[in-house]
Amino acid sequence: MRIIFIGPPGAGKGTQAARLVSHFDIPHVSTGDMFRAAVKAGTDMGKLADEYMRAGNLVPDDVTVGIVRDRLNEDDAKAGVLLDGFPRTVPQAEALEAMLNAEGMAIDAVVLLEVPDDLIVDRIVGRRSDPETGAIYHLQFNPPPAEIMDRLVHRKDDTEEAVRSRLAAYHAQTAPIIPFYEEKALVKRVDGVGTPDEVTERIIKALS
Ligand code: ADP
Ligand code: ADP
């Protein structure tokens, strides 16, 4: 199974991806997580990505396609994968298509997680993640246990200002990939408003 998750920042892609990868037993490939790991490791690529991410802009396509190509060449990604946050531009979608075609592989479904813009800012500003487990919380909608509060991370790009740039980037650069996949009849639109359990059920139903 090869699945792509598309949706605005804060739609719940990471939350749902964590649930779906255990359901389907496929690796979770998140370009955002890979860039954050590179920033933390202080690599040259991490330094470059950091500037774009802080401003809420997309990292250039050549860099992004390069890290995905390397990741998809690893053994565990051969049988299936859940791509979270990639592709995010039409050139990335085209590059992915060429990469998969060359291996005789194809995408099975594109899950479009729909959440209206006016709910996004609250979801993003209240997001916290646990660096030890990778779990994603929300101060109000999915409150973390009190004992781990001190170690939680608030992403530098989870400010109201950066989220506005990220939403603009989503509408201008990412939304145009929807018709690209609609032409291939791969898009499953899923309502991302509701409890995380409700959304998981909807995604599994859409994929079955
Ligand atoms: P969110 O979970 O809010 O949708 P991500 O963690 O997926 O955000 O991505 C965080 C940032 O990493 C993006 O704002 C962008 O700067 C960079 N990034 C992630 N994926 C891509 C991509 N496919 N192309 C370009 N930049 C990306
Ligand atoms: P994305 O990966 O699309 O940026 P996340 O999964 O990180 O989104 O979710 C963004 C924030 O919204 C997190 O704080 C998360 O706990 C919260 N969240 C996720 N799903 C829901 C939901 N169904 N209802 C309310 N809040 C949610």
Digit-by-digit pLDDT tens for the chain (208 residues) are 999 999 999 999 999 999 999 999 999 999 999 999 999 999 999 999 999 999 999 999 999 999 999 999 999 999 999 999 999 999 999 999 999 999 999 999 999 999 999 999 999 999 999 999 999 999 999 999 999 999 999 999 999 999 999 999 999 999 999 999 999 999 999 999 999 999 999 999 999 9
2 noted as active-site residue = no
Domain annotation covers residue 108 = yes
Residue 91 placed within a domain: yes
**Which pLDDT score is estimated for 170?**
97
Residue 153, helix vs strand vs coil: strand
pLDDT computed for residue 193 by the predictor: 98
CA 19 to chain centre: 13
Alpha-carbon torsion, ordered 115, 119, 125, 130, to 10 deg: -40
Q: Which ligand is nearest to the CA of 4?
A: 1
Q: What atom in ligand 1 is closest to the CA of residue 8?
A: 4
pLDDT of residue 100: 96
In a domain? residue 63 = no
- Total number of domains in the chain: 1
Q: Is the residue at 140 inside a domain?
A: yes
Annotation says 36 is catalytic: no
- Tokens representing 128 are 């916290």
Cα 108 to middle of ligand 2, angstroms: 24
In this structure, which ligand is nearest to the CA of 127?
Answer: 2
Structure confidence by residue, pLDDT tens digits, 119-139: 999 999 999 999 999 999 999
Q: Which domain holds residue 126?
A: 2-26+79-207
Considering 2, 36, 71, 88, which one is annotated as catalytic? 88
pLDDT at 8: 97
Amino acid at 33: D
Catalytic: which of 19, 54, 155, 188? 155
Nearest CA to ligand 1 atom 12: 32
Ligand 1 centroid to Cα of residue 82, in Å, is 15
Establish if 7 belongs to a structural domain. Answer: yes
Write out the DSSP string of 35-104: HHHHHHHT-HHHHHHHHHHHHTPPPPHHHHHHHHHHHHTSGGGSS-EEEES---SHHHHHHHHHHHHHTT
Q: How far apart are CA 101 and CA 17, in angstroms?
A: 24
Active site residue 166: yes
CATH of the domain at 133: 3.40.50.300
User: Is 112 part of any domain?
Assistant: yes
Centre of ligand 2 to C-alpha 187, Å, is 21
pTM: 0.95
Q: Does residue 60 form part of some domain?
A: no
* 125, part of any domain: yes
For residue 202, the model assigns a pLDDT of 98
